[in-house]
Chain A
């Protein structure tokens, strides 16, 4: 499954959209529950099946969700699920515990629906670059259309009702994935994070809550969902993100002024490793590509498009690599094939203008 999808760029990694070298992607997620059915965590399997069949019918009636496809969790292998997590189409929770879940993937992966995750329905809109408003409009249209077919749990005081009270109200989580090597290198990042946190936003490192941030990638999202309108939440995330992009650009200027050789050395070494490595892990690739992305942003490197960097990043993730070669592999084998594939993709492309 998904063999053709692996050859296409993921919706969060095309090089389209505003400031896409720094802001990789914008995402909106709306949590909804169908009235008069218990939330998934306590629902019996018949109820969970009812939810899937209600949504299946609603998708068929919908005009916005015509050209996608619905998958049930039982037809997805472990590798399929990892692949979908890497493409940001499902959450890690989606593949944990319990069955009777389903996933709808829309055209170009811009819209996806997770069914029976923590809530009956999670509508997700994903766009490359700083496009929070665009992503919100997309998710909002789908919500409005589905609400004309289904009845969602809503309380006049509390808004949209969700399984966890941290999502109640708008049920909306808006987020951006942002690349901040300049702020990390100048050690300004802690300062920025603490300021952002004061504004009601949350900052997390890429992929989980581990201590090491992978590839200088951060996710910023709204912390609260109740008491503000969707438009206000989107607006404040956008304003803060624009501000951070400016901080990042300033810190890059500082780096270029104060430590040009060291930064260029870092970038060229990253290219050297990727062009020559024989064994390489996915995490190492993510970190090295961060340096190359920085090099593209600062104009140190010019002869490679951002789209190639994005493709290498995506294809290097473990499940993507296995889908690409169409076989399941142990980590050792993956690391060798990954190195080989990257050498082919980057071979001779970047010239070192001495």
Chain B
């Protein structure tokens, strides 16, 4: 298909505009699209990760972060390193391990967007602490549950499932 504007080059970009309830479609080549002021958001920009992250955090996209969060939320600060959430949103890097505790709620949301999950399922280091004990116990039970299901031992599987539920409630 040839470009609607110049009628010379191959059209590679389709633009749909809605104005006064009228839908209008244009098929344009790269050059004519640029002339009309349509730019690809990725074109020529180095795509820095920080900007990418801050656009995920701010619902209005990069550069338009006037009111993405309520004031109190944006001014939350990590008590250990002093990093504020808005500073993180700007840099795309956290300051220390405690930042993950300080911004837990906001980060959970962000991690779901990035990874499609907010829960670690990999390696567990051998660290002390009640929380770590729970985690190890939960993993152990999950392993047993999988084994029981593989062996089609559903009575045992149901028992293990209850144990896991109990454990999560205690937590």
Contacts and interface: CB of A to CB of B under 8 A. Distances in A.
Interface of A: 33, 35-39, 41-42, 118, 140, 143, 147-148, 151-161, 163-166, 168-170, 172, 209, 224-230
Contacts of A33: 97
SS class, residues of chain A in contact with chain B: loop
B147 interface: no
Contacts, number: 114
Contacts of B111: 158, 165, 168, 226
A156 B93 contact: no
Contact of B123 (A158, A170, A224): A170
Contact of A170 (B53, B83, B101, B120): B120
Interface of B: 47, 49, 53, 80-81, 83, 91-97, 100-101, 107, 110-111, 114-127, 131-132, 134-135
B81 A161 contact: no
B118 A158 contact: yes
Contacts of A172: 122
The 10 closest A-B pairs by CB, nearest first: A227-B117, A159-B120, A153-B97, A226-B115, A170-B122, A224-B115, A38-B96, A42-B95, A156-B135, A229-B122
A230 B122 contact: yes
17 contacts: A39-B94, A39-B95, A42-B95, A140-B123, A155-B120, A156-B132, A161-B97, A165-B107, A166-B49, A168-B100, A168-B111, A169-B115, A169-B117, A169-B122, A224-B115, A224-B116, A227-B116
Nearest to A147: B125
Contacts of A224: 114-117
B85 to A, nearest CB: 12
Nearest to B101: A155
Nearest to B129: A156
B78 to A, nearest CB: 10
B42 to A, nearest CB: 11
Contacts of B131: 156
A291 to B, nearest CB: 30
